[in-house]
Chain A
Amino acid sequence: MEIKDKIIVRNDFSDTPGARYKSDGPNSGELFLELLLTEKFNNAVIGNYKLLIDLDGVWGYPSSFVSGSFGKLSVDNGAEKVLKHIEFKSDENSIRLENILKEIKNPKKKDQ
């Protein structure tokens, strides 16, 4: 499947990802999901292409951010569909990549 769109987290969102919910403070996973991820993911599903997400160049990804964005997307759409239409890239940290993929495959369900 061809890659036709991308999100560079450090440029398009922030280099300091925050907590889970918007009410938790700036740059939350929920904000990332609402501002960028959901729309671009849905477009990728409709257009049957892949969305590339570049994870490099940030201070780190707190577990709550990962859960509130990628985990929530997986809960709403299913891990298989998410992994079919999103490709992650991290040249600087493969463990970060593994942690995000684990979260998508086994999302922690949190109730607000």
Chain B
Amino acid sequence: MRTKQKIVIGITLVIVLLVGICVGVFTKNIPILEFERKISALEALTFLVTVAIGIIFPFLIKKWVDDNQTIKIYLVQEIEQLISEIKENKNLIAQTFSDGEFKSEDRDKINFTFHSTELQIESIQKQFEVSFPNSLKIVEDMKDSFRVYKDYLTGGELMISTFDKIELPFYREHSNEYNKFESHLKEMIHKVHRI
């Protein structure tokens, strides 16, 4: 037998001895459980209530968490829908920039897209009022950001009838304004998840 094996066997024996001592001391001092045959009605009730809470509570918590999660997922989908609606303006500006022509009908389309977007914002606001009334500031901040973007696009030169071509500086500036609003909506999705 090699020295290394002898050391391993020695250490194992010491460990077995120590564990044996510990088990002996523990079992010697362990308290003996005694049950009373008579219990009061209050104690029985307390016991039943404790068991009931133990069983029912996890189900209630799980249902509450699941419901909350479903509402949040739905709200996120609504915000994504808002992003896809407002993107129509971005696509229209890109298309008319590339065509080199901006027509009166394009102006009407932009105004109508803003109208549709406002309806979507209204819908999101109503859902917040029902499900997360304490988090309405998230919607108010989003509406402020929306107004800044809408004022940029429909409060300036684009609405003037002689504006018939999108030049590069306008295209760039619009992209910046659009991205600010889109970023705000994406941040809003994170905020919804954190409610």
Chain A interfacial positions (CB closer than 8 Å to B): 16-20, 24-26, 59-65, 67, 92-96, 98-99, 102, 108
Interface range for B? 20 to 34
Is B159 in contact with A62, judged by CB distance below 8 angstroms? Answer: yes
B115, A93: Cβ atoms closer than 8 Å: yes
A61 partner residues in chain B, CB cutoff 8 A: 111
Determine if A95 and B143 form an interchain contact, defined as CB atoms under 8 angstroms apart.
yes
A25 and B161: CB pair below 8 A? Answer: yes
Once the chains bind, are B143 and A20 in contact (CB under 8 Å)?
A: no
User: Is the CB of B133 closer than 8 A to any CB of chain A?
Assistant: no
Asked whether A93 and B118 contact (CB < 8 A) given A59-B112, A60-B111, the answer is yes
Q: Which of B121, B154, B162 contacts A64 (CB 8 A)?
A: B154
The yes or no answer to B67 lying at the interface (CB within 8 A) is: no
Contact yes or no, B112 A95, CB < 8 A: no
- Check if B178 is an interface residue, CB within 8 A of chain A: no
Judge whether B147 is part of the interface by a CB distance below 8 angstroms: yes
A18–B107 CA distance with the chains assembled, in angstroms: 9
Contact with A along B148-181 (1 / 0, CB 8 A): 0011001110011110000000000000000000
Quick check: A26 and B161 within 8 Å, CB to CB? yes
23 CB < 8 A contacts A-B: A16-B108, A16-B111, A18-B159, A18-B161, A24-B159, A24-B161, A25-B161, A59-B112, A60-B112, A60-B115, A62-B111, A63-B151, A63-B154, A63-B155, A64-B154, A92-B119, A93-B118, A95-B119, A95-B121, A98-B143, A99-B118, A99-B147, A102-B147
